[in-house]
Chain A
Amino acid sequence: MDFGKFLETPEYDIKIITYRDIFQSEALENSLFGDEYKDLSAIIKLDSKDMEKMGIKSGNIVYLKNKYGDVVVKAVESDSENPHRGYAYMPNSPWSNSLVSDETGNTGVPNYKLIDASISDAKGEDIADIEKLEVVNV
């Protein structure tokens, strides 16, 4: 993938909170390599006002990046009744783990729950299958 082209599109800072989803867990039990698990995992839920500001629509493909890794996922409008501007939600999965820091402050515990990253539109890009993620191909 040519990540250089994303430099031309505007980037926005976002804090990602990860969570568990029973439908995603069920899909994982059925097939880690199936489309259902990928569809329920490789997503980011954004506040509607943030989406407006970023010019991102529900269903758009977005590029997430920080110093620990990068990943392409689908943007979805959050169904939360409470606004959560600046924060986005991602189900816990290898896609969200692509962005988790390896710095633990000598605790052995990475910060899985709160991830700082940048988000930008990734028009034309595909969401990587689980086996194409960087973690398994380095």
Chain B
Amino acid sequence: MEDEDKYNVCTACSILCDDIEIETENNSITGVYTACRKGVSRIQTCNEPMPCTLDGKDTDVDTAISETANILKKSENPLIFGLGNSTEGAQKKAIELAKQLNANLDDTSSFCQGPVVEAILNGEINYTCTLDDVRNNADVIVYWGADPANSHPRHLSKYTYFPRGKYRQKGYDEDRTAIAIDVRESSTAEICGNNSYLIPPQKDEELIDALIDALSGKVPKVSFEMNKKRILELANILKKAKYGVIFAGLGLVYSLDNFEPIKRLMDKLNEVSNFYFNPMIGHYNMRGFNQNLFNETGYINRVKFKDSEVKHGYEYSVVELLKNKSVDSALIIGSDPMCSLPGSIARNLNKIPIITIDPCETLTSRKSRINIPSALSGVECGGSAIRMDGVRVNFEPMIETSKISDEEILRRVMEEL
């Protein structure tokens, strides 16, 4: 090990594991320890690094930045999108740039965990806690519509179910109960064994109301095949929890029309027990983007700057902007909307000039007019990020690089403007 005392931070997901050890040789990473499969792959960097190109031909970074400024200057309604894989420094620069350009600004939270983060930052959900609190205190852990064994592999082992904690010295053996509520038999559901509850798609609200009834001493009813005894048994575990936590996955978020059912459940749980609520955020700094934009505008995503005014609404979401073909250029930073958006919407990106800033080639970059390679944050450049539970994490680069960070690229684009 190169430096046994030095731990690194993994930026593959928003757990931001801070206990990563690496081996290096001649400024290359030759070994990664402690990280999950996804983390090891992220830290070892991609097989297809981004080339610097303009109209499909190799160019230098100065020319690419200068041409980026030209496109954005000429654009009447530009879109800036991404930033979930960028440092807080880059996010703040992107917000400044969006203001300067009167641009639309959005990120993946717009079609992901946005409603949950918004409810937390607006104070609509007060029952949140940190992952460290969970490790030290939690005796009942509920994964609802979430499968961390696949999406966040170290969530269970580092913070929730398996570790010993200050007040949970016996760990999962005796001190903790993990519960999975999902529409399919996920890997996490297998770990939860008998405490796994399968429900049909879109029936989450019905189960929430049945649980509220059961917690209120009423007989729970659901329209689907689920034994009342099972619902009462689940309600009983929740009621007896000394420190319970619900981790909400996209399965739960997508199945609800609004946040009211979750608020109802959390209020009831805290009447009879002691429960917290946290989102399972994917990209390592999505929450940082939401928090930084919220601090600046009062909104977490979906904004359009217009002189000193900030407009906000679903019509400024990346999905609606592209669907309605209302933007005339797109600056994509650390994201791949061609991959992550519905095909029926993403195809509209082909009709406008795209500029992509990313360490690796993406589907979007292969259709972009300009590509600017950036340093991979956490590996090639340092910075800070907000973990899924709201805790700020600082990190240093693991190796040196000649590539510049996305923060520096954005600063230079602004300078050109």
* A residues neighboring B (CB under 8 Å): 15, 17, 19-23, 25-26, 29-34, 68-69, 80-82, 84, 87, 89, 93-94, 97-102, 104, 106-114, 130-131, 133-136, 138
Contacts and interface: CB of A to CB of B under 8 A. Distances in A.
B253 to A, nearest CB: 9
A131 B361 CA distance: 12
Interface in B289-346: 302, 314-315, 317-320, 323, 336, 338-346
A17 B110 CA distance: 20
Contact of B339 (A32, A68, A102, A114): A32
B366 A100 contact: no
25 contacts: A25-B37, A25-B151, A26-B40, A29-B12, A32-B339, A32-B361, A32-B362, A82-B198, A94-B338, A94-B343, A102-B342, A102-B344, A108-B111, A109-B110, A109-B111, A109-B319, A110-B342, A113-B254, A114-B201, A130-B363, A131-B363, A131-B366, A135-B338, A135-B343, A135-B363
B242 interface: no
Given A110-B319, A131-B363, A20 B343 contact: no
A106 B314 contact: yes
Contact of A98 (B42, B186, B317, B343): B343
Contacts, number: 145
B157 to A, nearest CB: 13
Given A32-B48, A97-B341, A131-B363, A104 B254 contact: no
Contacts of B201: 15, 17, 87, 113-114
Contact of B342 (A17, A25, A97, A138): A97
Contact of B48 (A21, A33, A111): A33
Interface of B: 12, 36-38, 40-42, 46-48, 110-111, 147, 149-151, 153, 183-187, 198, 201-202, 250-251, 254-255, 302, 314-315, 317-320, 323, 336, 338-347, 350, 360-363, 366-367
A108 B317 contact: yes
Nearest to B41: A29
Contacts of B186: 19
A29 B339 CA distance: 13
B36 A22 contact: yes
A24 to B, nearest CB: 9
A108 B319 contact: yes
Contacts of B320: 104, 108
Main secondary structure of the interface of A (DSSP, over half): loop
A113 B204 CA distance: 13
Given A17-B183, A113-B251, A136-B367, A34 B198 contact: no
Contacts of B367: 136
Given A15-B201, A110-B111, A110-B345, A26 B37 contact: yes
B185 to A, nearest CB: 5
B143 to A, nearest CB: 13
Contacts of B347: 134-136, 138
B323 to A, nearest CB: 5
Contacts of B153: 22
Nearest to B190: A81
B302 A80 contact: no
Contacts of B254: 109, 111-114
A114 B151 CA distance: 18
**Best-surrounded residue of A30, A34, A134 (most CB of chain B within 10 A):** A30
A111 B347 CA distance: 17
A22 B38 contact: yes
